[in-house]
Amino acid sequence: MATTVDMSSILTAIAADTALTSWNPVVCTLPEYELKETKTAKCCVAPAGIRYRNQTRDAVKRIFIVELGFLKRGKVLDVKALVGEIETIAIHIMKQTYSGARVVAVENEPLYDDEQLRTKSLFQSVLSVQLQEL
């Protein structure tokens, strides 16, 4: 029997992943990559889209696309360490299944936004996660 997979449950499951705890994950309806209410670190877990793919003549698979926006503010930020931390999270996420959807791809683009880093002392990186319903 096929399970019903929805974007909301996937977002909630990703935000609850312990690998993201130090980034204070928050489910966002829209990707809002600003540090308004948080002074140090934030991970915005937001829906980015759904791709539909033919599996057979009568079956269609859905690929859910979720963005994880990582933000950290500080006067002196160790960018190399932060990029390494995001890479560790990406590798962890690649091995996961969330709410009936298996992760099939993770992209880290941009690694970080150098303009935000220079002008606002803000490290900003985005992971795009693609999940296929089981």
In a domain, 71, yes or no: no
- Give residue 73's pLDDT: 84
Question: What is the C-alpha to C-alpha distance for residues 106 and 57, in angstroms, rounded to an integer?
Answer: 28
Average of per-residue pLDDT across 81-102:
96
| Nearest residue to 129 (alpha-carbon basis) of 54, 80, 84, 69 | 69
For the chain, give the percent of residues with pLDDT over 70.
90
In a domain, 104, yes or no: yes
In a domain, 68, yes or no: no
pTM of the model: 0.87
Q: What is the mean pLDDT of the chain?
A: 88
For the chain, give the percent of residues with pLDDT over 90.
57
> Domain span at residue 27?
7-63+76-126
H/E stretch holding 103 reads: strand 101-108
- Give residue 95's pLDDT: 97
In a domain, 1, yes or no: no
Average of per-residue pLDDT across 120-128:
89
Question: What is the C-alpha to C-alpha distance for residues 132 and 103, in angstroms, rounded to an integer?
Answer: 6
- Give residue 36's pLDDT: 63
In a domain, 108, yes or no: yes
27-56 residue pLDDT tens: 998 766 666 655 678 899 999 999 998 888
Task: Report how many domains make up the chain.
Answer: 1
- Give residue 1's pLDDT: 36
